[in-house]
Structure formats: structure tokens, C-alpha cells
Structure 1
Amino acid sequence: MEPKKRICIVGAGPAGLSCALMLKRYGISATIFEKEEIGGLIRNAWRVENIPLMPVRSGEEIAAELQKLIEINGLEIIRDEILSIEDGKLSGAKDEYPYDFLVIATGTRPKRISEFEISDRVSYEYVKLPKNISSLAIYGGGDIAFDGALKAFESGVKPEIFIRSEHPRALPKLIEETRNRKIPLHLKTPIREVRNHEGRLIIVTSEGEEREFDALLIAIGRVENLPRINVVDLSRVLIIGDAAHVNYRQMSIAIGDGIKAAMRIIELLGGA
């Protein structure tokens, strides 16, 4: 009898979990590696309302549903950060793992401003901000920035958005929702400096204006988040979701990618 193939999926967001769930339907088990919380970046979404047939939900609600699917289907999750990939081997922070087929669904990482990272009150994800804040500065003009502003507003936090350019890049729907709530938008207002002051943050704009906030969310863009890859035979390695389409970060695309990757593996195994 041919030995069972070892299928590994790196990343437990919508792409990786969609792949694992589709494989499970065919009786094929996969091992999923995740270093953080289930759901990935989708946890930060204010609302997800662009997927046909799915009711409008917050990103945190979707992450909770993904966690339930993991438990119902008995998916195996290993808590480790995969740092590098070679032919047939994953190297993590905790251990090494063999694979026959590999799916990389590691999403994206933020463009950082290291000089602003002065305390835990500065974050690149809304869900990682301190819980006891009443005011929030947001730096960026894309979907993540506006999602953060709307989530803050609904939580009773007073947000203000600082944007370097004259025009926000976010979805028109998000911009409209933000303006309807009269959330301040500071256009053409780069942040020049961030300082600590008695447990709060001083935000200094390019014009020298100083404003005080409880926290800062930096959302100036994202890039693909891939481990080091030193693989000769790429025929059994698939990169999917946001890691493969950094400019098209949509959950619907990630889900489709995951299902497609699963079908490809099933085909290679001779099952479809």
C-alpha cells in the first residue's frame, strides 16, 4: 500500500481553511500551521458584505465561524511559525515538519514605520490595539484604515483618520459610511512624529500640529508575507490567497483559491 501523503497548509485564514475543509470532504487530512489567531487579517474587517449568498457579518464573527468549522471537522492545527521551506521540509520556530504537498496561505504583512513603534499603543491591526482606549488616530487611506475607524466608532472610541494624499484609496462604501458618522478625515496630512506622554500618544503632523490620542493604528499598505522559500520542485507547492494576490485582498478570492488548491491536490492524488 502506498504511504499516506503528508499535506501541509501554512496559514489558518479563509484561504488555508477553505483548502483544508475541501480536502476533508474528500476524506483527505491536512495539517495546518498558524502562529496567531484563527482567521488572519479578516478579523479586522468592520463588515464583510461582498460575498454572494453570505449574510453581512463582521470580521470577528467570521473568524468565530471558522473556529467552529475547525472544531466540527476535527482539523489539525499546529501552533508554530513556519520560517523557511525546502523540498519536502518545513522549518518552524519550534520544530521541523515533512510534507508531500504544501499550500502556502500566509497572507500579508504591514508596511511598517519602525520609528513610530514606541509602545503597545501603536498597532498595525485594530484587533491588537489596547482595549481601554477612548480616542484613536489612524494613519492611512485604504480599506484597513477605514474599517478600523468604523469599528472604533461602533465601540464608542473617537477615531480620526490622517491621510498623506488628497484622496482616500478605500472603497467608496467605506468612505461614505465614515463621512455619514462625521469621523474626521485629515487629508494631505502626513504624520511626522509620535511621542509618549503620560501613558498617551502625541501625534505630530507634517505641519507641526500636535494632537493627543490613546492609540495609533498604522495602515499605510501591506506586502506579501512569505517564509523563506528554497524549493527546486515547485510542482507540489501552491501559494494562494492574499500571499499570491497582494493587490486583490478579498475573502471571496481567498476562499476560491483555497478550494482550487484542494482540487488540484485531489487531482494529483488521483481522486478527481
Structure 2
Amino acid sequence: MSKIYDLVIIGGGPGGLSAGIYAMRAALDTVLIEKGVPGGQVTMSDEVENYPGFSHISGAELSMKFSEHAQTYDLKTISDEVMEVEPGLDYHLVKLANKDILKTYSIILATGGSPRKLQIPGEDKLYGKGVSYCAVCDGFFFRNKNVIVAGGGDSAAEEALYLAKIAKKVYIAHRRDTLRAGMLLQKRVKADSRIEVLWNTVLTEIKADENGVCGVGLKDTQTDELREIEIDGVFIFIGFNPNNELVPAGIVMNAQGYVVTDEKCETKIPGIFAIGDLKEKYARQIITAASDGCTAAIAAAHYVENKKAA
């Protein structure tokens, strides 16, 4: 408890790792805490085609490059879970699951988000038994089988295209009559003979037998007509919820639970910053998370400098 870090970064995704790079370049005494695999949600992406400098790269490889770059600056990392962030006037406290407590002048919250659930019967019970939120992780188990993807955005389209390389048939159930995915992805989906889009359709139930998922209940959003189809796997990509459990009282969040910051990514509590998928913003992309990390680290460096000079 005697040592006071200049900066503690909570989360090792693209935003957190970018913050680590800029913090080390600013000579901040920094530690990054990540409870899982460095890279965050990016590691689960089969293909990344919109990060500048890489026309085509896997999410796992891009994450590795982020991590390796950060380690060239000897960024200190701790593999543990943060249980609580306690703001203070002179410094802040970061409490870990292993009972360690870190003192720090500044904190960057880069905790990202978690897959949003459909909240329908069978979803939780059958998770890992035919229900998945990651096609790259679990697509292999559905080779030459029939699967359904719930969602209509970029993630749903990307995962459907990935599954189409493996599965016999891929359905996309989308509650509207047009996809929300980018036009390039929409063209690819429509051109793939193994993909069929079920327009104006939502899942109502996931059914199972002794082997796992065997079918789903569907409802037409316009007519309320109900029907069932036989399915071996269900992949859900309907967005993410911000991982805001560590956000301390006194920090403003919007109605969706995203943290409100200023242009420096700083919250209402001086010295605490929020970036990436945790932050209220227009676009949620790898590049915007990395940009947030840069901004927050530079702002933290100025904050710490002023704090020490006071």
C-alpha cells in the first residue's frame, strides 16, 4: 500500500493496451490489470478487415500484436480480477480479488462489454450445449449442421459468413426487414447460397433433446405467427452491454449504462477515465477503442503531472 502508481489501467483490450503504450511512452509508472486473455472481444473475431494497416487479419493475431507492442515498453501487467474501485481525493484505490490493494493517482476503466442475451427459455440452460455467443469459438462443433444466427448488425453478418464456411445451412433471424450491417457485409450475406435470412423474425424459445439443441421457436414480428424449425446450434449476436460493475458512485452513466465523459475521456471524478465499449460514443470499433486509449493516457499524464506539482 505504500507505493502509489501514476496510472492503473483496468482491462486489456485494444483500448487498454493502447493506453498502456501511450502511458509508457509518457513515462508514467503504470500497471495494466486483465483477468482474461489480452485483446478482449477482438480475440473472438475470425476476420478483421477495417483496422488501418491490415487489410485482412484475424482478431487473435491483431490482439497479439497489440499485446506484443505494449510489452516492448515493459508494461507491467497483473492477471487478476478487480473487485472494486474506490475514489479518493489524494489518490484512488483499486482492490483485487487476491486481496491486494493498489494506490494510484489515475485510473483508466477499459472493461468493455459483454454479449447481450435474448432472455428466452432455453438460452441459459443450453449455453455450451448448442447455444453460443462466439462463432469462432464454437463453429467447429457444427460442421455440416444447421444453425441459426440471431441479430442483424455487423457482428451477426460476420459470424454468419464465418459459419457458412462450416455449417450445412445458416439462418439469420432478424426482427426487421433490412439488416443493420454495413453494405459490404450485406452483399456478402446475400451472395452466400448457404445463408438464408428470415426477415421480421425473432426467436421465442430454444428447444433441446438428450443431445442438446434440436430446434427453435420463431415468431413473425408483423403477424405474430408462431412456428418451429429444426436447428442444431444457436448463435446470438444482438449487441453488448457495458461492463459497468466497477464504475464508482459519482460517475455519470446514460440510460443504457454507458459512462459519460468529456473529450479527454475523463469522468466526473478527476483522474478516472473511461474508454472503449464502456464509454458513451457514436461508433464502437477497434480503432475508436484504441483512439480512446491514446486520448485517456495522454490526459492521465497531464493530470498526474499537475497532481504531483500541486
- Name the TM-score, length of structure 1 as normaliser: 0.87
CA–CA separation in structure 2 for the residues paired with 1:137 and 1:93: 38
CA contact (8 A) 2:142 2:166 kept: no
Matches within 5 A, 1:83-162: 83-87=83-87, 88-98=92-102, 99-114=104-119, 115=121, 116-119=123-126, 120=128, 121-129=130-138, 131-134=140-143, 135=145, 136-155=147-166, 158-162=169-173
Instruction: For residue 256 of structure 1, report the CA deviation from its aligned partner.
Output: 0.9
Cα offsets for 1:246-266 (capped at 9, x unmatched):
652111111111011111122
- Aligned letter for 1:124? Y
Q: How many correspondences in the alignment?
A: 269
CA contact (8 A) 1:145 1:219 kept: yes
Could you tell me which residue of structure 1 aligns to residue 58 of structure 2?
58
| SS of alignment partner, residue 234 of structure 1 | coil
Could you tell me which residue of structure 1 aligns to residue 292 of structure 2?
257
Instruction: For residue 43 of structure 1, report the CA deviation from its aligned partner.
Output: 2.4
CA–CA separation in structure 2 for the residues paired with 1:75 and 1:227: 25
State the superposition RMSD in angstroms: 2.4
Q: Which residues of structure 1 form unaligned runs of 5+?
A: none
CA–CA separation in structure 2 for the residues paired with 1:89 and 1:164: 44
CA–CA separation in structure 1 for the residues paired with 2:168 and 2:39: 24
Could you tell me which residue of structure 1 aligns to residue 216 of structure 2?
203
Q: Which has the larger radius of gyration?
A: 2
- Aligned letter for 1:264? A
Cα offsets for 1:100-123 (capped at 9, x unmatched):
210001112222234322221212
CA contact (8 A) 2:32 2:77 kept: yes
| SS of alignment partner, residue 173 of structure 1 | helix
Cα offsets for 1:214-261 (capped at 9, x unmatched):
321111222221124335571110001111036521111111110111
CA contact (8 A) 2:18 2:70 kept: no
| SS of alignment partner, residue 5 of structure 2 | coil
CA–CA separation in structure 2 for the residues paired with 1:73 and 1:157: 46
Of stretches 7-16 and 67-76 in structure 1, the one that deviates more from structure 2 is 67-76
Highest RCO, 1 vs 2 (Cα 8 Å, sep ≥ 6): 1
Q: Which residues of structure 2 form unaligned runs of 5+?
A: 220-224, 251-267
Cα offsets for 1:159-186 (capped at 9, x unmatched):
2211111111111111111112231111
Percent of pairs identical after alignment? 25
Matched, 1:270 2:305: yes
Q: 1:270 to 1:248 in 2, by over 3 A?
A: same
Matches within 5 A, 1:15-54: 15-54=15-54
Matched, 1:214 2:227: no
1:238 to 273, 288, 309: 273
Instruction: For residue 155 of structure 1, report the CA deviation from its aligned partner.
Output: 4.4
Instruction: For residue 26 of structure 1, report the CA deviation from its aligned partner.
Output: 2.9
- Name the TM-score, length of structure 2 as normaliser: 0.78
CA–CA separation in structure 2 for the residues paired with 1:204 and 1:241: 35
Cα offsets for 1:44-79 (capped at 9, x unmatched):
334333333343323222123224334444333322
